[in-house]
Amino acid sequence: MIPELGQFSLILAFCLSVLLGTLPLVGASRNNLLWMDLARPLTAGVFVFLGISISILAYAFATDDFSVQFVTQHSNSLLPTRYKLTAVWGGHEGSFLLWTFMLSCWMLAVSIYSKSMPIDFVVRVLGVLGVLCAAYILFMLATSNPFDRIVPLPPVDGTDLNPALQDFGFIIHPPTLYMGYVGFSVVFAFAIAALLSGRLDAAWARWSRPWANVAWAVLTIGIALGSWWAYYELGWGGWWAWDPVENPPLITWLFGTALIHSLAATEKRGVFKSWTVLLAILAFSGSLLGTFITRSGLLTSVHAFASDPTRGFFILAILGVAVGGSLLLFALRAPLMKSEAGFDLVSREVLLLGNNVLLVVAAASVFLGTLFPMVYQAITDDLISIGPPYFNAIFVPLMILLVLLLGIGPLCRWKKTSISYLTLQLGKVLLSSVALGVLIPLAVLLEFSFAATVSVTLAAWISLSMLKDLANKTANKSSRIKGLKALSLSYYGMQAAHIGAAVMLIGIGLTSAFSYEKSVLLEAGQNIDLGNYNFQFNGSSAVNGPNYVGNEADIEVKKNGQFLENLYPQRRIYLASGTPSTEMAIDAGFLRDLFVTLGEQKESGAWSMTIYVKPFIRWIWLGALFMAFGGIIAAGDKRYRRLRRRQLEKVDNELSSGLQTAG
């Protein structure tokens, strides 16, 4: 009975979002306050009923209700409770419910933190989100109901959650990624609301900016978590595989990054308006594309859910209507959007434009590489795959160019800057960056590598130019501390995110240049050298977990002859499914990771294993954290709140005068 209640509240949520997607929108276009006022309560209702629905699904998992098909497929009575609860997003149906629930969380947030925006604008935003929400729920009810029962005879036990998913990373990565992904729907809804109302001024950019920053920050964390999880769980020694399902979040992220920069130009200078709107539509399309690719089964990938063509068609239809419709609206309204100001060839506007062009080209090339095999197959009926070399060949040069611009951008002035000013400002910065880039890798790792030199040079270029900018900005104050205090949160946010890029660059460069890995066969007592480290295999023993059995190896690590630690990698067999799984042992460090994955045992008793030494790999994720932190504090800038208050007064005046004329 309880699962039916879940489905019932899903249907209620659907009805409410249909209302939300229609009445308030009509109300906004007819200036009907009564209908507009429905938007907030309806949003709350959608949130509540989706919340009930997902809680009931979690409850079905927690109580081992194997009459629910989705529970049977993704859980087992032996599964630890934390994985039972999170198995809600362990498969297609439940993860889509999570996705939709996340959308309703964003909608609720918009309805709460928008008290200062004009009501017709908020209502349009919520209405657009309501339409999306209704489409998602309809998709669930029609093709992938998580509450479907197995009747008349439910199985005694479930088939278990995929062992690769039984890990801490699975608890946090999907919700964070979805939260970030879905956040771009909000920015999209702002753009569509602006197009609908024809209010394409700087105020629109100011309202959307905090939302875009937060969505971008959460997506950054979500992608970084995925990379970190894949790194330690899959035991392949890499942190990015250019997998067809990794790519759409990256495409969305690249569009999102372009968007938050272009929003800055739109807000501050009133330029690039139509471009910004287009980017908001593109970022949102990227997120839908991700859903489509994972859920349609069109591409071979580790993430793909079991495929079902009707689902693919349904999502493709949503994608087509949403993207096609918004692009049509964009085309109709674009002539209304005129730049308010001009700018010179050397100005911050042009640098931001350069940033946007590079990011969009990067996104487009990733898109091309991801979808090319599909298109190729449709045309020639031959299967092909595009390997990492393609992506690296395109992506790396683009990002190098982007970082070069990044060093100049913050020092450059809006509207017009002279080249001699920039040379004066950045000449020394450039020279010292190159010097540091050559010296630091040599000093730290005693080796020369071109990749390491390039990445450290670029990282130094970002950091030093930022210091130079800080020095300039605080130079005229009575003391430096006062100067630092006077700078805005959004300025600090920008710098934190840029430092994040520098940190990530160092991580990527040094890991790519100085990693070692070796697959070996070791008998107990044997040892092997790798870099400065020596790994000795002391033997293996049996281990038993709650829902698995397996073996554990004892590996003693020495650095330059000194004892460092023991590592204990495991190889497990999960009981319910009989699936083997490796648990690698990691010694994570600020400057390097050491890790060992266990292969299989030979008849002689020797074990095959792969040993990795990965310098600076943590810096990649650390950099992402800095970026996300920057995005979040920038969204907290008091300028947005202050302007909201001012806006509120203005709107109140407008409304009262509007009512008077109407009366």
Task: Summarize as ranges the residues that interact with another protein (CB under 8 A).
Answer: 159, 162, 164, 297-300, 302, 304-306, 361, 365, 368-369, 372, 376, 382-387, 389-390, 393-394, 519-521, 577, 579-582, 597, 599-600, 602-604, 608-610
Q: Is 544 left (phi over 0), alpha (psi -120 to 50) or beta?
A: beta
Minimum distance, C-beta of residue 77 to another protein, in the bound complex (Å): 18
The 10 Å Cβ neighbour count of residue 605 is: 10
Measured CA to CA in angstroms, residue 235 lies from 221, 583, 597, 611 at distances of 21, 8, 6, 10
Of 118 and 169, which has the nearer Cβ to another protein? 169
Residue 579 and residue 445: Cα distance in Å, rounded? 40
Tokens of 1: 């009975």
Measured CA to CA in angstroms, residue 561 lies from 250, 531, 583, 613 at distances of 42, 12, 27, 16
Measured CA to CA in angstroms, residue 270 lies from 347, 429, 640, 645 at distances of 14, 31, 16, 21
Minimum distance, C-beta of residue 265 to another protein, in the bound complex (Å): 18
Minimum distance, C-beta of residue 163 to another protein, in the bound complex (Å): 8
Closest Cα to residue 127, out of 25, 46, 18?
A: 25
Of 142 and 368, which has the nearer Cβ to another protein? 368
Of 335 and 389, which has the nearer Cβ to another protein? 389
Q: Contact 279/261 with Cβ under 8 angstroms? A: no
The residue type found at 335 is P
Minimum distance, C-beta of residue 361 to another protein, in the bound complex (Å): 6
**Secondary structure in 3-state letters for 505-552:** HHHHHHHHHHCEEEEEEECCCCEEEECCEEEEEEEEEEEECCCEEEEE
Minimum distance, C-beta of residue 383 to another protein, in the bound complex (Å): 4
Of 323 and 396, which has the nearer Cβ to another protein? 396
Of 9 and 582, which has the nearer Cβ to another protein? 582
Residue 364 and residue 8: Cα distance in Å, rounded? 42
Q: Contact 26/35 with Cβ under 8 angstroms? A: yes
Torsion of CA 497, 499, 500, 506, to 10 degrees: 160
User: CB-based contacts of 440: which residues, under 8 Å, 6+ apart?
Assistant: 456, 460
Minimum distance, C-beta of residue 400 to another protein, in the bound complex (Å): 14
Minimum distance, C-beta of residue 339 to another protein, in the bound complex (Å): 14
Minimum distance, C-beta of residue 397 to another protein, in the bound complex (Å): 9
Q: Which residue has the tokens 């990693």?
A: 515
Minimum distance, C-beta of residue 228 to another protein, in the bound complex (Å): 18
Closest Cα to residue 564, out of 587, 530, 596?
A: 587
Closest Cα to residue 262, out of 280, 247, 250, 249?
A: 280
Closest Cα to residue 465, out of 419, 406, 508?
A: 406
Residue 240 and residue 242: Cα distance in Å, rounded? 6
Minimum distance, C-beta of residue 238 to another protein, in the bound complex (Å): 12
Of 107 and 165, which has the nearer Cβ to another protein? 165
Torsion of CA 177, 183, 187, 190, to 10 degrees: 160
Torsion of CA 337, 340, 342, 348, to 10 degrees: -90
Residue 74 and residue 68: Cα distance in Å, rounded? 10
Minimum distance, C-beta of residue 609 to another protein, in the bound complex (Å): 7
Minimum distance, C-beta of residue 384 to another protein, in the bound complex (Å): 5
Maximum distance among all Cα pairs of the chain, rounded to whole angstroms: 93
Cβ density class 125-149: b for 16+ within 10 Å, e for less: bbbbbbbbbbbbbebbeebbbbbeb
Residue 114 and residue 242: Cα distance in Å, rounded? 38
Kindly give the residue spans of alpha helices, DSSP state H, lying in 158-197.
Answer: 168-197
Residue 148 and residue 205: Cα distance in Å, rounded? 43
